[in-house]
Structure 1
């Protein structure tokens, strides 16, 4: 009888440990005996996702770009991709550190005994997958509610558009270079859901660096870009021939709007609404 009770106890303990096992996007598996209570997030979209899942109070430090919700501004800022403050992260004694695949300190943090989880969202469905993984990590049983809310919000943004605002050829410049949001990116997929036609095909990748002449040849009817990169866009060689430039159908997003648009996280529905507003406004300028 004692042996049976011992066996049952060991089985229960093993099941409890496995309940908090997670494989990250590099295929590496980490285990916890209980849901992490001290979390460091070095990715703004993951910071937002943790908070949306009700675990904001578990964050003990974030990267310098995490600025939403407002409560994270009070947390220690731990640098960015190129200047991560490893010593400060270690001093915070996190149960887990959330990083992007581009992180240059993941291996070092692991060598210092920290649990590091790599998560990446390039596509629309990646966001659903990452939210699900975070829900597992945080032991949030109804994590799917966040995705359902996103889906409903994106659907509502699409339905809000009149027929006149659909079908436009769109170029979305995400950064100087220039780098564009392709059809296969989460931003490109949002544009598709809104009925727009992306000039950057999926074959070019999610966020390709492109030749400006490619944009001239594709002749987009609408251009979307952030405030930081908008200066002088109309003066680029040959761009005066582009329909969007000629017809003044260029949407320049504020820094706050840009944060929403470029982060693959729980504010995707808000991003869709910002894009939809651009498409509505520019449709009224169509020749």
Structure 2
């Protein structure tokens, strides 16, 4: 004879089994990941983008200069743009290595691939690519909903900036990356995306390389209206001797020099549009200055 207690016990077990089965099916339906992937990320801007979609805790190794947000500074380092510490990367047992196509050491990447490490390359060439890369990172990390939201916000803001500045008159610009040797940007350089959007005309847009060295004579001959000297917030070196060195430039005489935030402009992240906004405002101020100068004559 089956007692009432035994019947109740069997009913409870049956209900628990059904409940657990339902929960497992629900998790499977929604694609819940069992274990987050272990990531080694070989570019500061990719690190920042992962934090933007709440995937920063998945990063187990990165490179020098990955310093934003502040939490990124605590991630173990595995090298820099010049070379990677392959043994250290292997010791971290990554599920996936994310790298910058044109900024990570090609030989080291090939070596990792030959060892069976899964890798994914990223190469943003336009401002629109920032949103596309974010969506791809969302797919790789299981953060698609947040990545989709962030990408949509970015695209909306980018469209607004383009609409605001697309009809502005051009301001000729010298974009100084370095003073010795004197270096600037060419037609395929990343900062050209922001400069063009804001109505800037690069005086060395005819250069044959993306980041050419130029002569002082060429700069003096081309006479830009505005000198841009991008600087990192943490950079100690500042280009303070430019006015003395190029005193004959009309832009120097008219005090048309500006220092945009290099971290914002030079890293392909959501914050890029903060840098673009700042840059557009600098060009707008210079544009208005020259318009007023012409009107006063």
What is the TM-score normalised by the length of structure 2?
Answer: 0.71
Mapped partners of 1:233, 1:66: distance in 2: 29
Contact kept? 1:179, 1:208, Cα under 8 Å: yes
Contact kept? 1:40, 1:98, Cα under 8 Å: yes
1:279 is paired with a residue whose SS is helix
Correspondences of 1:38-57 after superposition (within 5 Å): 38-57=38-57
1:79-121 CA distance string (max 9 Å, x none): 3122432222211111111222342221222233322222222
Cα offset, 1:157, TM superposition:
4.8
1:81 aligns with 2:81: yes
2:252 is paired with a residue whose SS is helix
1:202-245 CA distance string (max 9 Å, x none): 66454333334332222111111134351322243xx3332321
Comparing 242-251 with 211-220, greater Cα deviation is found at 211-220
Contact kept? 1:122, 1:206, Cα under 8 Å: no
Match of 2:269 in 1: 265
Match of 2:183 in 1: 179
2:239 to 208, 215, 230: 230
Contact kept? 1:260, 1:268, Cα under 8 Å: yes
Q: Which has the larger Rg? A: 2
Match of 1:8 in 2: none
1:240 aligns with 2:247: yes
Question: Residues 214 and 137 from structure 1, CA distance in 2 versus in 1: closer, same or farther, beyond 3 angstroms?
Answer: farther
Match of 2:117 in 1: 114
1:14-49 CA distance string (max 9 Å, x none): xxxxx9xxxxxxxxxxxxx99961111110111111
Structure 1 regions of 5+ residues with no counterpart?
1-18, 20-32
2:176 is paired with a residue whose SS is strand
Correspondences of 1:111-260 after superposition (within 5 Å): 111-142=114-145, 143-157=147-161, 166-176=169-179, 177-201=181-205, 204-227=208-231, 228=237, 230-236=239-245, 239-253=246-260, 257-260=261-264
Cα offset, 1:273, TM superposition:
1.8
Comparing 37-46 with 75-84, greater Cα deviation is found at 75-84
Mapped partners of 1:34, 1:185: distance in 2: 41
> RMSD over aligned Cα, in angstroms?
3.1
Mapped partners of 2:35, 2:287: distance in 1: 49
1:149 is paired with a residue whose SS is helix
1:65 aligns with 2:65: yes
Mapped partners of 1:145, 1:208: distance in 2: 38
Contact kept? 2:78, 2:84, Cα under 8 Å: yes
Structure 2 regions of 5+ residues with no counterpart?
1-30, 232-236
Q: Which structure has the higher relative contact order (CA within 8 Å, separation 6+)?
A: 1
Cα offset, 1:144, TM superposition:
4.0
Comparing 227-236 with 216-225, greater Cα deviation is found at 227-236
Question: Residues 65 and 155 from structure 1, CA distance in 2 versus in 1: closer, same or farther, beyond 3 angstroms?
Answer: same
